[in-house]
Structure 1
Amino acid sequence: MPIAPAPTRRQFVQVGASTALGLGLPSLLASRAHAATRKSKSVILVNLTGGLSHIDTLDMKPDAPAEMRGEFKPISTAIPGVQICEHLPLLAKRMQTWALVRSLSHNENGHLPGTHRLLTGSTMPLKRGSDLDNVLSRRDWPCYAAGLNYVRPRHDGVPNGVTLPHSLIEGPLTWPGQHAGFLGPHHDPMLVKQDPNSPKFRMDAFSLPDGVDPARVDSRRSLLDNLESSGQGDPAFRGHQHQAFELLSSGKVATAFHLDREAPTVRDRYGRNQFGQSLLLARRLVQSGVPIVQANMGIVQTWDTHTDNWGKLKNRLLPWLDQGLAALIEDLQQEGLFADTLVAVLGEFGRTPKISTLPGQTVAGRDHWASVYSGLFAGGGVVGGRVIGKSDKVGAHPVSQPYTPYDIGATIYQALGVPPDAEIRDTLNRPTAINAGRPMDILFENR
């Protein structure tokens, strides 16, 4: 749900009808009594949209044949005997903070279903008819923020989820799994549609218009309550209005978007680019109490390096990511947020071990590869300084226990105190478990 411009005095009472603020009137289901111990207050999902080449970054194979190993050299890390890419020097120095998982795996090499699995922890439903014209569908499984909002709604003016700095759209295709799916639009996460690195970045939609005081907001809300008690109006519309009142009256979220209040030196540490400033904004949203922030690192398929794989990684993607992640972790630690914030850095899959050149192209790259790939986890009780899992000698298949996107989803829910088998209901009111994976308990255990 995109952010609208700040409301005028005349418009402010109606702003709840806008999808910009429509987080809505959720259905409340209690979490199960046997819910796992809560480890985190927040999750930052760093989405490497398009699929990071694991074999060129986090799981390098310097002894593989030339047609597989690629152009980059490995460097040592703070974990004895563990190496990663030479273009991730800050990460290498800070590997004691991270758990590196090298045996992520699933069987879907397509961007659309792969992204759905990453963002929801579930398989993309079969699309039919008009759904094919708009890939994002209300048949989709709910994203994590939507699932959390269904099971544990809040009414304090802080949304359960924010996606930034844009949605994943390519031409006529809108990537699936980005909203509440069958749970309905009132559970959609808030969507930021501005580049936080832009000098024009402003998010004033959450501030009261000039001349409107909190007492007036309260009087308008009383009017809405009276309409509800008389049974007038559309329930979905009223739900959006309620959330709008909460956002306008609390002011908690508005402060997070004022990046200009950060010291220039802090902004410089993150990097004056979309990657870095998005991660800075994610940290500020976590500070304001947002439980789930999805930071899309790049426009859709940015990491989809079919061509010029090494040039794109070396000259832009890896330096930006390396700098931004280093600053994020440092700030979370300094602000006392690290222990309560799970950070997961993942793409929808990895890249092929074998180098290839697309027809009509002259610069080589790598294709999609979901059989094995790598991800990073830190904070929220994760035991860092470890490598979990192993791929074969060419980075093609796992040779240890594989972990799936379903398991990642179960881990995210469990970290936030939601049991993966918590019950949600679809549009036909049929009960189902929110997730079918198994939490990656190994991340939180000293082994």
Structure 2
Amino acid sequence: MKHCDKITRRNVLQAGFLGGLGLSLSNFLNLSALNAETTGKKSSKADSVLFLNLAGGVSHLDTLDRKPEAPVETQGEFKSIQTCIPGHSVCEYMPKYAAMADQFTLIRGISHSAGAHPQGQSWISTGNRPVPALIYPSLGSVVSKEISSKPDLPGYVAIPKTEWNAGYMGDAYAPFKTNTVPRPGQPFQVRGISLPDGLTIEKVNQRQQLLSKLDRRFKEDSTESQLLEALDKFGSQAYNMITSKRARAAFDVERESSKIRGLFGTDEFSQSVFLGCRLIEYGVPFVTATYQGWDTHTENFAGHRRLLPPLDVGITAGLKMLKQKGLLERTLVVIMGEFGRTPKINVNAGRDHYPRANWCLMTGGGIKPGQFIGGTNKAGDAPDDKTNIKPDDIAATIYHALGIDPLMEYYTNTGRPTMLVPHGRIMRELFA
């Protein structure tokens, strides 16, 4: 896959405009080089991203976008509690967040038109409205290509797994899935890293030599470049991870101090966040932790009663861990699902898909905490008159925080030039 990160169509347009000012192409290229030095990754606000994906669509009204003035049938069963920010109330099942709300920034009124889970997840994971003709790469795949990671660790890890994919970039940039999460008091083994009983590093080296010979033979007969790129990357990555003490240490959560481990609950989400923070510490630039179960078409309130306490513990413990380790300033934490849920409660005491209103929490990575960006109307059924925020804007902002130009242009394997997030607005108001 060709990659054009130096001169894009936007650059050409700029060059044409500057030509009218008497600047030659060489002048323009010199200015572009200077701009890259001053606005490239050196000026990035973050080195890594921890994306906590609330898959299924968390109810905005029953969590962080409470509507005390809405009709009773919209408000639902939960009580509100006051946070440490005057005038900001949240669900009663989020007391830890309420005490730390001023350390996050809440974005409300995010809206789009994809009402099904796959399309909604695709939109928040890529910053592009899904279309049949092209599968866009997820944020983590782009980050794993654009930001150098340690050779013995993946650039993109999904805990325990994810439907996000590399799209037209090819499987070489797909996420490494742990397929499991730590369990307190038990050894944590991840397939592809932990050595099975009886397998030694010496045997791994012997197998690697054999695989190298087979790879050379395969390359002579194959012309599928993306497949070969993926096989090369996966093979070398697996070998590097298995033979690296450092990589095994990164996943060995029992090495973490009891003080840090004690911050987290024993549930899968908390333990996923814990592992994600640890991988960030060891240099993985993009980690997703997926929390399933929010698709509450039936028994919305029973479901949220079960799901909210682990969410409350996990997000606040993760913030504390990153802060105590001095990582929060350079780690962008993003928390959101693919959409909100309907203000109207259905006949099954549930709420249905609702892409017109959603929220996102951010902290770290240069984010100015304690802010409220955007909002919804009194009924909670639409963005307010001042709000126009799309998933495209969230993605563009994440890229910007990492020093990646959201308008960077790639070529697909069919030769089609495509910008990363052509319709996204960088939300500069988020940053300090």
TM-score range for the pair, normalised by the shorter chain length: 0.7 to 0.9
Contact 2:265 2:314 in 1 (8 A): yes
Using the size of structure 1 for normalisation, the TM-score is 0.80
Amino acid at match of 1:411: T
Shift of 1:181: 1.3
Amino acid at match of 2:366: G
- Residue 147 of structure 1 aligns with which residue? 142
- Residue 244 of structure 1 aligns with which residue? 238
Shift of 1:411: 1.3
Q: Is 1:373 the equivalent of 2:358?
A: yes
Out of 351, 373, 380, the residue aligned to residue 388 of structure 1 is 373
Shift of 1:320: 0.5
Output one character per residue of 1:36-67: Cα deviation in whole Å (capped at 9) or x when no partner: 73110110111011111111110111121111
Amino acid at match of 1:311: A
- Residue 287 of structure 1 aligns with which residue? 281
Shift of 1:425: 1.5
Out of 319, 329, 332, the residue aligned to residue 329 of structure 1 is 319
Out of 295, 304, 312, the residue aligned to residue 313 of structure 1 is 304
Q: Is 1:418 the equivalent of 2:404?
A: yes
Contact 1:31 1:151 in 2 (8 A): no
Amino acid at match of 1:319: P
- Residue 255 of structure 2 aligns with which residue? 261
Using the size of structure 2 for normalisation, the TM-score is 0.83
- Residue 202 of structure 1 aligns with which residue? 189
Q: Is 1:429 the equivalent of 2:420?
A: no
Q: 1:367 to 1:221 in 2, by over 3 A?
A: same
Structure 1 spans left out of the alignment, 5+ residues:
1-25, 128-138, 168-174
Amino acid at match of 1:374: W
Note the 1:154-303 alignment, pairs <5 A.
154=149, 156-167=151-162, 175=163, 178-197=164-183, 199=186, 201-203=188-190, 205-206=192-193, 210-212=199-201, 216=205, 220=209, 227=216, 232=220, 234=222, 235-236=228-229, 237-264=231-258, 266-298=260-292, 302-303=293-294
What CA distance in whole angstroms lies between the structure 2 residues aligned with 1:218 and 1:306? 50
- Residue 91 of structure 1 aligns with which residue? 97
Amino acid at match of 1:157: D
What CA distance in whole angstroms lies between the structure 2 residues aligned with 1:145 and 1:253? 19
What CA distance in whole angstroms lies between the structure 1 residues aligned with 2:160 and 2:194? 20
Q: Is 1:61 the equivalent of 2:51?
A: no
Aligned residues: 390
What CA distance in whole angstroms lies between the structure 2 residues aligned with 1:252 and 1:353? 49
Shift of 1:220: 3.6
Amino acid at match of 2:294: W
Q: 1:384 to 1:31 in 2, by over 3 A?
A: farther
What CA distance in whole angstroms lies between the structure 2 residues aligned with 1:274 and 1:163? 14
- SS of the residue corresponding to residue 128 of structure 2 reads coil
Shift of 1:233: 6.1
- Residue 5 of structure 1 aligns with which residue? none
Amino acid at match of 2:105: A
Contact 2:192 2:241 in 1 (8 A): no
- Residue 83 of structure 2 aligns with which residue? 77
Contact 1:42 1:340 in 2 (8 A): yes
- Residue 22 of structure 2 aligns with which residue? none
Q: Compute the RMSD of aligned alpha carbons.
A: 2.8
What CA distance in whole angstroms lies between the structure 2 residues aligned with 1:60 and 1:218? 58
Q: 1:219 to 1:63 in 2, by over 3 A?
A: closer
Output one character per residue of 1:269-321: Cα deviation in whole Å (capped at 9) or x when no partner: 210010110000000110111111111012xxx1111111111212x211000
Shift of 1:427: 1.7
Amino acid at match of 1:181: G
What CA distance in whole angstroms lies between the structure 1 residues aligned with 2:97 and 2:146? 35
Amino acid at match of 2:296: T
Identity in percent: 35
What CA distance in whole angstroms lies between the structure 2 residues aligned with 1:31 and 1:153? 18
What CA distance in whole angstroms lies between the structure 1 residues aligned with 2:54 and 2:125? 11
What CA distance in whole angstroms lies between the structure 2 residues aligned with 1:389 and 1:76? 20
Which protein is richer in helix relative to its size? 2
Q: 1:290 to 1:29 in 2, by over 3 A?
A: farther
Q: 1:186 to 1:78 in 2, by over 3 A?
A: same
What CA distance in whole angstroms lies between the structure 2 residues aligned with 1:31 and 1:279? 36
Output one character per residue of 1:145-204: Cα deviation in whole Å (capped at 9) or x when no partner: 21123344556222211111123xxxxxxx5xx111121111111111113237464126
Moved more, 179-188 or 33-42: 33-42
What CA distance in whole angstroms lies between the structure 2 residues aligned with 1:52 and 1:256? 31
Amino acid at match of 1:187: Y
Output one character per residue of 1:193-235: Cα deviation in whole Å (capped at 9) or x when no partner: 113237464126235785435995899499669949x964654
- SS of the residue corresponding to residue 424 of structure 1 reads strand
- SS of the residue corresponding to residue 163 of structure 1 reads strand
Contact 2:2 2:410 in 1 (8 A): no
- SS of the residue corresponding to residue 276 of structure 1 reads helix
Shift of 1:141: 1.1
